[in-house]
Amino acid sequence: MTRITKGMRGHWRAETRLAFADGSERLLQIITRKSNAPGIFSFAQVVKREHGGFSHVMYQDYAEKLGRSDKRCTEKAVTDFHATHDADAIMARAKAFYAEKGR
């Protein structure tokens, strides 16, 4: 499921969360948002549900930069750029990452 929201600073953000089918507490997040540089960017990361929230351990959990665009951070630009990412292919790469680590 993808949610498109506007933050308190007026920046648009798209987020898709997909659960792993293995019954673990892991979720794949695909996020598109305003970049610190002009434009927008997308990334994917795996988080784990813990203690009523989510955790991500850098360099141990899956993370991937998906790309950036020089377009302004409008609802349409964020929605369109977010839609260009293949969630199934990203999930396959995340699963392969954990399979290689034996987790």
| Residue 6: strand pairing partners | 12
> What confidence tens digit (pLDDT) does each residue in 23-69 have?
788 999 999 999 988 999 999 999 998 888 999 999 999 999 999 99
- How many other C-beta atoms lie within 10 A of the C-beta of residue 27? 17
Residue 5 and residue 14: Cα distance in Å, rounded?
6
Res 37: pLDDT:
87
Confidence category of residue 77, pLDDT binned at 50, 70, 90: very high
pTM above 0.75, yes or no: yes
Listed in sequence order, the residues at least 6 apart from 11 whose beta carbon sits closer than 8 Å to its beta carbon are 33, 34, 73
| pLDDT class of 101 with cuts at 50, 70, 90 | confident
Residue 21 confidence (pLDDT): 82
